[in-house]
A and B are shown apart, each in its own frame.
Chain A
Amino acid sequence: MNLAAIVQDQTSHAEAVLFYLLAPITVLSAVGMLLVKKAVHSALLLAAVMISLAIFYILNEAPFLGIVQIIVYTGAVMMLFLFILMLVGVDSADSLVETIKGQRILGIIAAVGVGGLLIALVSKGNLGHRLFGLEMANGEGNVQGIAKLIFGQYVWPFEVISALLITAALGSMVLAHREPDSDKKDQRALSEERVRQSAQPVAGLPGPGTFARHNAVDIPALLPDGTSSDVSVSDVITARGHLAKPGDFKFLETSDDDREGN
């Protein structure tokens, strides 16, 4: 009895309906994930694949795995993907230029070949017995069963994973952590320094026209003593000789009446 027949034999009606509904969605989403050009679409399709897989797990009486799949993968891992997409820029798309000639064609041929081979072998596969063990595995409840395995038979690999996680944390520190630069001045130090250097105006350079009669870019600012400030006008204007003098607007002072009249 081959695998397909065994599965058909042991699958309930509702389960089959759900399977045939979800299976095409999963496969199409997975293929689409590779084919779409925008990274965000790819991420969304990946989420669809993960959620469908979670439903399959629950369907196969592994509720704990299904929920963990949703929380960890669809929740946490997808969130990381999206963070990275946001860092890289949502609009950035992969360059589709081939750096190795004929790579895409060869890649497709290889993928179809391996996929076809696997499908052919698995569909003809023969277990030689009925599927069994679910009652045993879930006998004391699903979570209890998993706990028994993790802290019983697989306690050693489970503990060794901690080394892997520490390595990952250490690695991200090595690759991303920067020493605070001790020479770099903070904002406070910079402002104090500015006040001490009294030659420089503390509040920055005056803009053109400050306290003057006119605020066009070629009018120098007036200092408290009535003289004009050279630093207030762009050097370009000075060099072109377009610089206006405060005195140029003297006539206005004599015609205060006109202004009030208007």
Chain B
Amino acid sequence: MNAPNIEYGILGPILIVLAAALIGVLIEAFVSRRYRYILQTGTAFAAVALAFLQLVLIRQTSSKAAVSSMSIDGVTIVLQGSVLIFGFLGLLLIAERGFQSFTAQAAAIPGSNEEQKALVSGLQQTEVFPLTLFAISGAMLFPAANDLLTLFVSLEVLSLPLYLMAGLSQRRRLLSQEAALKYFLLGAFSSAFFLFGSAFIYGQAGSTTFDGIRKSIVESGGSDQFLLVGLALLTVGLLFKVSAAPFHAWTPDVYQGSPTPVTAFMAAVTKVAAFGAAIRIYYFAVGGLVWSWRPILIAISIVTMAIGTVIAIAQKDIKRVLAYSAIAHSGFLLTGIIALSKDGLNATLIYLFTYGFTTIGTFAIVTLVRDSGGEVSDLNRWAGLGKRSPLVAGTFTLFLLGLAGIPLTSGFVGKFAIFTAAYKSGNISVVVAGVLASAIAAFFYIRIIVMMYFSDPVEDGTSVVIPSAMTVATIAICAVATLVMGIYPQPVISAINSLAFFAG
């Protein structure tokens, strides 16, 4: 038996990030505490930048890699590029001066003297950097996986660090720990469904690779129960990850409880990775079963949009509003999968790319509005922000308009592309629901804007902190991306259109 061939070059971006994560673990083990922060941030940023460079070098690749376990093609390149960019922005927020968002010692009991002492003496844990890098590598593996086993392992590599990072908040730690536990238990539960589904599909197709599954559907005519049962269970696992209804229940709690930089990172990166994997499965592996899965996904998409937008109206916490908005966006993104066309593929990738910037920017602003007890997430206390801090409120308005999909923001470009693709593929119902949901969603985004500008500031100690260069850079990049891709989206659209092809 010959040794299997691993294509290190085209797997390079993933391997660089993984290697950096391992270096981060070694730094934790061997380097004195004083130098850890600087070394960890240096390693993380360098790794993400290097990985991106390598990705640019291999951008023309279109082949299977690592014994057909991975598929490095145009779609993968676009998705991995998005993951790296959003990962970089997320890392900038996580590395923000003084670690205001992270607990100094996760093992200390919330509210104990030990916790206080760790905080005051600066015994800050820096393991969050290797964990973030592991999550990034998982997010790069997930949309590239070309085989059910690799897909499952990457799902776990992506999720496990996120479960941990959700519980590391410095303020409101019980809420954070509860969020981490909920995320972990529900995530494990959905992983079981995913695995169960994989077993059924393997049982029918006799292969775990997507090519094998695709071939077996063509041969069997796709009417087989085992394949359908397997696909249904696999769909449950995937829909949990993208937080589509009725598997969305974890989202508001986890978004609210996690440290806000982690929420920003998770909201953007997980969405890209999970939809990336979903695209490869529905477009490539089980595209032949479209008549079986399309009705289900249409129903789920409509329900998800409805739940996301309607419940968001009743929320009083800014992070919960954004969580429900993320659920609604999952519904919009599902329409791109339902379309099952080259247009739908392009539109989904464009939507993911634009949405990531906007959502990271939104959460970055949330980290700035604080009082003496930490971030102020109560919406009522954001009243009058426009009068006190016009610049911050103005940028936040831009992001909210982006999320609402108002013209001249990148959100409009994404939404327009994705609804057009769904319309062209003949799925009118989902387009109508999408437009209606967008209108309802615009209501609560604009309500926040109105609240910031047209109500008087409340004197309750809420203030906007002056952020360090890292957060400023993040917000600036996100704002510019939201605006530029809204006004002049053509280069991004054509770049994605020309890249987005599956390796056959």
A158–B475 CA distance with the chains assembled, in angstroms: 39
Contact with A along B350-364 (1 / 0, CB 8 A): 000000000000000
State which residues 52-94 of B face A: CB under 8 Å.
66-70
Contact with B along A217-241 (1 / 0, CB 8 A): 0000000000000000000000000
Contact with B along A120-155 (1 / 0, CB 8 A): 011011111000010000000000000010011111
Judged by a CB distance under 8 angstroms, whether A17 is at the interface is: no
CB-CB under 8 A for A177 and B107, given A121-B225, A170-B127? yes
Judged by a CB distance under 8 angstroms, whether B125 is at the interface is: yes
User: Smallest CB–CB gap between A61 and chain B, Å?
Assistant: 17
User: Smallest CB–CB gap between A116 and chain B, Å?
Assistant: 13
State which residues 436-459 of B face A: CB under 8 Å.
none
Residues A179 and B105 in contact, CB atoms below 8 Å apart: yes
Residue total for A at the interface (Cβ-Cβ under 8 A):
35
Judged by a CB distance under 8 angstroms, whether B118 is at the interface is: yes
Judged by a CB distance under 8 angstroms, whether A14 is at the interface is: no
CB-contact partner of B131 in A125, A160, A170, A178, under 8 A: A170
Judged by a CB distance under 8 angstroms, whether B141 is at the interface is: yes
Q: Residues of B contacting A176 with CB < 8 Å?
A: 107
CB-contact partner of B67 in A152, A171, A181, A183, under 8 A: A152
Q: Residues of A contacting B106 with CB < 8 Å?
A: 174-175
Grouping DSSP codes into helix (H, G, I), strand (E, B) and loop, the A interface class, with mixed when no group exceeds half, is: helix
Q: Give the segment of A23-31, A82-90, A161-169, A201-209 that binds chain B.
A: A161-169
A156–B106 CA distance with the chains assembled, in angstroms: 33
Judged by a CB distance under 8 angstroms, whether A72 is at the interface is: no
Judged by a CB distance under 8 angstroms, whether A79 is at the interface is: no
Which B residue's beta carbon lies closest to that of A166?
A: B25
Contact with A along B1-24 (1 / 0, CB 8 A): 100101000000000001001100
Judged by a CB distance under 8 angstroms, whether B226 is at the interface is: yes
CB-CB under 8 A for A151 and B153, given A126-B225, A156-B66, A178-B114? no
Judged by a CB distance under 8 angstroms, whether A173 is at the interface is: yes
Residues B107 and A155 in contact, CB atoms below 8 Å apart: no
Residues A160 and B150 in contact, CB atoms below 8 Å apart: yes
Which A residue's beta carbon lies closest to that of B164?
A: A171
Judged by a CB distance under 8 angstroms, whether B147 is at the interface is: yes
Judged by a CB distance under 8 angstroms, whether A157 is at the interface is: yes
A25–B117 CA distance with the chains assembled, in angstroms: 54
Which B residue's beta carbon lies closest to that of A125?
A: B225
Residues A133 and B153 in contact, CB atoms below 8 Å apart: no
A195–B105 CA distance with the chains assembled, in angstroms: 36
Residues A164 and B153 in contact, CB atoms below 8 Å apart: yes
A-B contact count (CB 8 A): 111
Residues A154 and B137 in contact, CB atoms below 8 Å apart: no
State which residues 145-167 of B face A: CB under 8 Å.
147, 149-150, 152-154, 156-157, 160-161, 163-164, 167
Residues B66 and A167 in contact, CB atoms below 8 Å apart: no
Q: Residues of B contacting A174 with CB < 8 Å?
A: 106-107, 125, 127, 131, 164, 168
Residues A153 and B67 in contact, CB atoms below 8 Å apart: yes
Judged by a CB distance under 8 angstroms, whether B32 is at the interface is: no
Residues B105 and A156 in contact, CB atoms below 8 Å apart: no
Residues B153 and A170 in contact, CB atoms below 8 Å apart: no
Judged by a CB distance under 8 angstroms, whether B108 is at the interface is: yes
A161–B28 CA distance with the chains assembled, in angstroms: 21
Q: Residues of B contacting A164 with CB < 8 Å?
A: 153, 156-157, 160
User: Smallest CB–CB gap between B175 and chain A, Å?
Assistant: 16
Judged by a CB distance under 8 angstroms, whether A118 is at the interface is: yes
Judged by a CB distance under 8 angstroms, whether B220 is at the interface is: yes
Residues B150 and A179 in contact, CB atoms below 8 Å apart: no
Which A residue's beta carbon lies closest to that of B67?
A: A153
Residues A128 and B66 in contact, CB atoms below 8 Å apart: no
Chain B CB count within 10 A is highest, among A154, A161, A176, for A154
User: Smallest CB–CB gap between B104 and chain A, Å?
Assistant: 9
CB-contact partner of A167 in B1, B131, B224, under 8 A: B131
Chain A CB count within 10 A is highest, among B117, B131, B149, B150, for B149
Residues A170 and B130 in contact, CB atoms below 8 Å apart: yes
List 29 A-B residue pairs with CB atoms under 8 Å apart, sorted by A's residue number. Answer: A121-B228, A122-B226, A128-B220, A151-B4, A153-B67, A153-B68, A155-B4, A155-B66, A156-B150, A157-B147, A157-B149, A157-B150, A160-B141, A163-B134, A167-B157, A167-B160, A168-B160, A173-B127, A174-B106, A174-B107, A174-B127, A174-B131, A174-B164, A175-B107, A176-B107, A177-B107, A178-B105, A179-B105, A181-B117
What residues of chain A have their CB less than 8 Å away from a CB belonging to chain B? 118, 121-122, 124-128, 133, 148, 151-157, 160-161, 163-164, 166-168, 170-171, 173-179, 181, 183
A-B CB proximity, top 9 nearest: A156-B66, A156-B69, A171-B164, A125-B225, A157-B150, A157-B153, A157-B149, A174-B127, A178-B107
